[in-house]
Amino acid sequence: MKKISLWKDDAKTSSFAPLQEDLHVDIAIVGGGITGLTAAHLLAKAGKSVAVLEAMRVGDGTTGFSTGNLYAIVEESFKKLQFKFDKKTIQAVADSRTAAIGYIENLVRELAIDCDFHRRPWRLISETDTYDKILEKEYQACLDVGLDAHLDSVAPLPFNISKALRVENQAQFNPMQYIKALAAQAQKAGCMIFERTPVLRIKEGSPNVLYTENGTVTASKVINATHSPKGVRFVHILLGSYREYAIAVKLNSGDYPEGIFWLIDKLHHYSIRSYTSSSGENYLLVLGEPHKVGHKKDNEICFKNLENYIRARFDVKSVDYHWSAQNYKPADGLPYIGAVNHKANVYIATGFATDGLTYGTLAAMIISDLILGNENQWSKLYDPQRHNPLKSAVRFIKENIHVFMDYMKDIPYQAEVKRFSSILPGEGKTIEIKGEKFSVYRDESGELHQVSAVCTHMKCIVNWNNEQKSWDCPCHGSRFTVDGQVIEGPAIINLPKREDNNQH
Ligand SMILES: Cc1cc2nc3c(=O)[nH]c(=O)nc-3n(C[C@H](O)[C@H](O)[C@H](O)COP(=O)(O)OP(=O)(O)OC[C@H]3O[C@@H](n4cnc5c(N)ncnc54)[C@H](O)[C@@H]3O)c2cc1C
Ligand code: FES
């Protein structure tokens, strides 16, 4: 079994060189996912000088680890949005998301992007009548916004269902192939792309200054396209960070179903789709098992749970891939897209939940319009400074009770072990040494990797992620390698290294 996303394994590695000099551009974009590269393409095409600075490789963030589904519906459901927003707002959400899918489709056709884009139906399935009412309400909500919705009692799946809500004319693609092609097109339009170039600090001003290891970029405008914006911002207390798990399996018999399937299970849903790789192999993908980042002790069990779930429903031959990724849920159900520092022209795009291939595209459309001075009918709707405490209250309280509890863990004598000898090879544990918490990992060869356990974002204590072998912050989702390097999330500074050899 490969521990990598099917999309990443099936794509060629991109080869943009790291930044090695100082430069000045109109617009610096931090992050080469679907948000950053769509904006880069739009702005470079409009004649702006643009540089994309990507810490890893293009698509190596969440974009290349997603499901590749494009739909106007939202993870939270239109029905739930109806409790917080009026009809006009929900119509605008559906229209803007439909426009973003249309934008992707047009680009795929215009540039002949080979990314397996197809219009497909989206289905929400209840396997027992327990969830039929949810489906019926969502069906009405879909009709209200003019989607081509139907209620069925059958679906092209090899097991019995109670009801299916079907929405026609949604879409699927291979997100990694799309993003790589988009990067090539942005470069053709004059955009500079630098991979393996983490931005280490952003000084906002006129101009903005972005520091990297081997070069400094000055820019009159900055787009934070890093999924969760870097640094300490108000928006972080409005976001809940969640990890989700995926496996790709082959079947012994039976058809690989076409389209997007969300199967309701308690409060969440499992997402199922098929994909044929470039070498002609068929796979069935299943994603689910969400939990708050840094909140699950044994998270490897999530893959086993996914496998059991899919084996109970399909004739599975082998599990070929597994991976995980994270998303950020917004407090009021809508993402935060637009300027956060009007004076310095700094923009953010976050809070996409698991709907961000569409929202990321929409964010790029909105931000590039704002930068180019074009009217955009949806910019107010998603404005990051729109904060409405009433609409956000439920999730805000829930997420911040978690954050408060995690701060409380930073009291003395709460370490997991007292001695290094209690940490087995492959394990990570928190240990307290002279009043300071260390995060200590023992690798398979027995060597210890010691870093500070205090998250460099807002000082919560990081927890061990045994599936990814990383230190994950339970407060706002920053993640770090065993040697302290930032992987993702709002933190921008690495966990400082520590060394104590007396604690055996
Ligand atoms: C399991 C899962 C399945 C999903 N499936 C779907 C789906 O089917 N449909 C859908 O619409 N949405 C889906 N989503 C959500 C969607 O994938 C994301 O919202 C979207 O990909 C976010 O794109 P992005 O460009 O904003 O961020 P990313 O793709 O995460 O890109 C951000 C980039 O910024 C880079 N970066 C970070 N820090 C720095 C730094 N300091 N310097 C330089 N670069 C930096 C990262 O390396 C990364 O490449 C899914 C999410 C998950 C977790
Ligand atoms: S991510 Fe905010 S404190 Fe760690």
Question: According to the 3-state scheme, what is the secondary structure of 27-93?
Answer: EEEECCCHHHHHHHHHHHHCCCCEEEECCCCCCCCCHHHCCCEECCCCCCCHHHHHCCCCHHHHHHH
| 63, 287, 493: residue to mutate for ligand 1 pocket, most atoms within 8 A of CB | 63
Find the mean pLDDT for residues 118-131.
Answer: 96
Q: What is the pLDDT of residue 500?
A: 78
CATH of 14-65+176-237+332-391, one of 3.50.50.60, 1.10.1060.10, 1.10.287.980, 3.10.180.10: 3.50.50.60
Lowest mean pLDDT among 163-167, 247-251, 410-414: 410-414
Give per-residue pLDDT as tens, 305-333. 999 999 999 999 999 999 999 999 999 99
Q: Is the pLDDT of residue 60 over 90?
A: yes
pLDDT (tens digit per residue) in 420-431: 889 999 999 999
Which fold is adopted by the domain 420-488? Rieske Iron-sulfur Protein (2.102.10)
The DSSP line for 301-367 is: HHHHHHHHHHHTTS-EEEEEEEEEEEEEEETTSS-EEEEEETTTTEEEEE--TT-HHHHHHHHHHHH
- Domain residues of the chain, as ranges? 14-65+176-237+332-391, 420-488
Which atom of ligand 1 lies closest to the CA of 58?
A: 49
Residue 293: CB within 6 Å of ligand 2? no
> Alpha-carbon Rg of the chain, whole angstroms?
22
Pocket test for ligand 2, best of 408, 478, 495 (most atoms within 8 A of CB): 478
The mean pLDDT of the chain is: 93
pLDDT at residue 414 tops 80: no
Find the range with the poorest average confidence among 8-12, 58-62, 447-451: 8-12
Give pLDDT tens digits for 344-383: 999 999 999 999 999 999 999 999 999 999 999 999 999 9
pLDDT for 407 beyond 60: no
**pLDDT-based confidence at residue 504 (cuts at 50, 70, 90):** low
Residue 412 is predicted with a pLDDT of: 41
pLDDT at 410 over 50: no
CB count within 10 Å of CB 343 equals 9
Which atom belonging to ligand 1 lies closest to the Cα atom of 246?
Answer: 1
Dist. CA 63 → ligand 1 center (Å)? 4
pLDDT of residue 398: 66
Angle at 221 between CA 215 and CA 227, to 5 degrees: 80
- In whole angstroms, what is the distance from residue 50 CA to residue 43 CA? 7
Bridge partners, residue 245, by sequence: 288, 324
What tokens were used for 474? 């339970």
Rounded Cα gap, residues 183 and 186, in angstroms: 5
The ligand placed nearest to the CA atom of residue 406 is 2
| DSSP H or E segment with residue 129 | none
- What are the angstrom distances between the C-alpha of 216 and each of 53, 56, 72, 107, 226? 11, 18, 39, 32, 18
Is residue 200 within 8 A of residue 315, CB to CB? The reply is no
Mutate to test the pocket of ligand 1, among 34, 93, 199, 227 (most ligand atoms within 8 A of CB): 227
Mean pLDDT of all residues in 145-167:
97
Q: Which ligand sits nearest to residue 38's alpha carbon?
A: 1
Give CA–CA dist 126/269, Å, rounded: 10
Ligand 2 atom index nearest CA of 403: 3
Residue nearest ligand 2's atom 3 by CA: 458
User: Could you read off the pLDDT of 433-456 as tens digits, one per residue?
Assistant: 888 999 999 999 999 999 999 999
- The more confident residue out of 254 and 340 is 340
Residue 459 neighbours by CB distance under 10 Å: 12
| Structure confidence by residue, pLDDT tens digits, 26-48 | 999 999 999 999 999 999 999 99
Calculate mean pLDDT across residues 385-401: 67
User: Three-class SS of residue 451?
Assistant: strand
List, for residues 180-217, the tens digit of each pLDDT value. 999 999 999 999 999 999 999 999 999 999 999 999 99
Position 476 pLDDT exceeds 90: yes
pTM of the complete model: 0.95
Ligand at shortest distance from the CA of 200 = 1
Task: Supply angle C-alpha 434, 488, 336, rounded to 5.
Answer: 120
For residue 316, the tally of other CB atoms under 10 A from its CB is 18
- Which residue has the least CA distance to atom 1 on ligand 2? 476
Q: How confident is the model at residue 55 (pLDDT cuts 50, 70, 90)?
A: very high
Average pLDDT, integer, range 101-115: 97
> Measured in angstroms, how far is the CA atom of residue 421 from the centroid of ligand 2?
29
For residues 254 and 243, is the Cβ–Cβ distance under 8 A?
no
- Distance, CA 4 to ligand 2 centroid (Å)? 26
Cβ partners under 8 Å of residue 21, min gap 6: 214, 215
CB of 364 shorter than 6 A to ligand 1: no
* CA nearest to 228, candidates 52, 360, 103, 98: 360
- Report the length, in residues, of the chain: 504
Which ligand has its closest atom nearest to the C-alpha of 461?
Answer: 2
| Sign of the alpha-carbon torsion through 308, 164, 277, 72 | negative
Q: Is the dihedral of CA 74, 56, 18, 205 positive or negative?
A: positive
Residue 90, both tokens? 């929900």
